[in-house]
Amino acid sequence: MAKTGFDVDDIRERFPVLHQEVNGRPLVYLDNAATSQKPLSVIEALNHYYTTDNSNIHRGAHALAARATDYYENTRKSVSSFLNAPSEEQIIFTKGTTEGINLVASTFGRKFIHEGDEIIISAMEHHSNIVPWQMLCAEKGATLKVIPITDDGELIMEEYEKLLSSKTKLVSVLHVSNALGTVNPMESIISMAHRAGAKVLVDAAQSTSHFTVDVQALDCDFLVFSAHKLYGPTGLGVLYGKRELLEEMPPYQGGGEMIKEVDFSGTTYNEIPFKFEAGTPNIADVIAFQKALEFVSTVGKEQLLAHENELLTYATEKLGTIKGFIPVGKAKHKVSVLSFLINGMHPFDVGMMLDAVGIAVRTGHHCAQPLMKRFNIEGTVRASFAVYNTKQEIDVLYVSLSRIAKRKN
């Protein structure tokens, strides 16, 4: 198997949390689809802000405010470059992917979705890309339609094409399934939607940490993701939108920063992106996110993806030899997510047994209950790999799962 060309041991040294024991065993952290761990540079950036630069941004005339503002806006520039956005003004900071979707539902939806219109999502969506559209459809009298999937966990594109019509106003689909690892054909999804006259939101929560995402190449209308899945802090997300749409959309919240002028007779709203960033933002975490983006850039997306793909192939082949191992989701194009069942056992029980020997995985429906119903299961055990994981850790998982399966059998 081809070498990935970087030193995973050196990378692991940058992540303090990995060097500990859990229940008397070395930690094996395989829950990266839920949240990734943070390199020391991110942690130090948080500490540096609060010990050196702590101040509110944009409004102050003093040195601390000027420094904090510069650092904050530099991160916006870096995110714009990371996504290859046309301009930094099209980058809006949110609390996370969930808030980004809700922002679009509440603003774009409020203005452009009407009675009789249709919104399309897929059968593998996270709850955060289902519920906001259900709420909007109930309010507006619109209809929510769902792209079905195959038994392997891939979208049935022929059925998607049948769903598209002149009534379709928005298609909102995840780029990568958090529960299955399936990489969806976003270029085709977007071009087909545009031909029907619909706009497209890409839920990139699970894709930005694995491979290059170029919003101009995709030609998506909106894209959302979370920092904490990309080696950055929690409580921070990004919404990208096409300029003409963002400028037409009404504000999401009212308050400070999103205004130009306030009078009791009326208010004039600020320009983008500030129109959508009411109140004091998550300053420290935005500044620290810059270091996460630098970490990914230093490793290199191609190197990162090659390493993760190597781990996924190794884990799929090795765990597949365990009697009673049942993989869930066999898409041809996947990222480093392996969902599975151990025959006859509840996923939570398997997860607890793995935790007892220091292995962290995710169990349950992964906020994708309709997807689990599609497969007629309650949930899965999910092992998800990141740049700092190793084949040795997969070997530890293999040994533990083998024992669990033998005990059940």
Residue 121 sits at φ, ψ, to 5 deg, of -125, -170
Same domain, 77 and 173: yes
| Residue 236, in any domain of the structure | yes
What is the pLDDT at residue 2?
41
- Is 0.85 surpassed by the pTM of this model? yes
Burial tier of 391 (Cβ tally within 10 Å: 0-12, 13-18, 19+) = middle
Kindly state the tokens that stand for 395.
Answer: 């070997």
Same domain, 285 and 319: no
Same domain, 263 and 396: no
At a CB cut-off of 8 Å and minimum separation 6, what does 217 contact?
Answer: 84, 187
User: Is 137 labeled as catalytic in the residue annotation?
Assistant: no
Radius of gyration (C-alpha) of the chain in whole angstroms: 22
Domain end call among 242, 274, 297: 297
Which CATH number goes with the domain that contains 394?
A: 3.90.1150.10
| Residue 3, in any domain of the structure | no
Same domain, 305 and 393: yes
Residue 281 to residues 58, 68, 261, 317, Cα–Cα distance (Å): 11, 12, 19, 45
**Each residue of 203-222: pLDDT tens digit?**
999 999 999 999 999 999 99
Rounded to an integer, the average pLDDT of 354-358 is 97
What does the alpha-carbon distance between residue 329 and residue 384 come to, in Å, rounded to a whole number?
A: 13
| Residue 1, in any domain of the structure | no
Rounded to an integer, the average pLDDT of 77-91 is 98
| Residue 363, in any domain of the structure | yes
What is the pLDDT at residue 176?
98
Which is more confidently placed, 189 or 257?
189
Same domain, 157 and 207: yes
Whether pLDDT at 82 is above 50: yes
Burial tier of 74 (Cβ tally within 10 Å: 0-12, 13-18, 19+) = middle
How many secondary structure helices (H) and strands (E) does the chain include? 14, 17
Mean residue pLDDT across the chain: 96
Same domain, 246 and 340: no
What is the pLDDT at residue 256?
87
Band (4; pLDDT cuts 50, 70, 90):
very low
Domain end call among 237, 262, 297: 297
**Each residue of 51-72: pLDDT tens digit?**
999 999 997 789 999 999 999 9
Same domain, 304 and 292: no
Same domain, 182 and 95: yes
Torsion over CA: 74, 80, 84, 85 (sign): negative
Domain end call among 249, 272, 297: 297
What is the pLDDT at residue 152?
97
Q: Which domain holds residue 391?
A: 8-30+300-408
| Residue 36, in any domain of the structure | no
| Residue 37, in any domain of the structure | no
Contact 148, 125 (CB under 8 A): no
What is the pLDDT at residue 114?
98
Percent of the chain with pLDDT over 70: 98
What is the pLDDT at residue 257?
87
Whether pLDDT at 166 is above 90: yes
What is the pLDDT at residue 60?
75
Same domain, 100 and 169: yes
Whether pLDDT at 3 is above 50: no
Torsion over CA: 93, 97, 103, 104 (sign): positive
| Nearest residue to 292 (alpha-carbon basis) of 337, 217, 216, 238 | 238
Angle, helices 63-83/283-299, rounded to nearest 10 degrees: 40
Task: Count how many domains the chain has.
Answer: 2
Residue in 306, 326, 345, 367 annotated catalytic: 367
Rounded to an integer, the average pLDDT of 104-130 is 97
What does the alpha-carbon distance between residue 104 and residue 125 come to, in Å, rounded to a whole number?
A: 16
Same domain, 247 and 124: yes
Three-class secondary structure of residue 139 per DSSP: helix
Same domain, 324 and 238: no
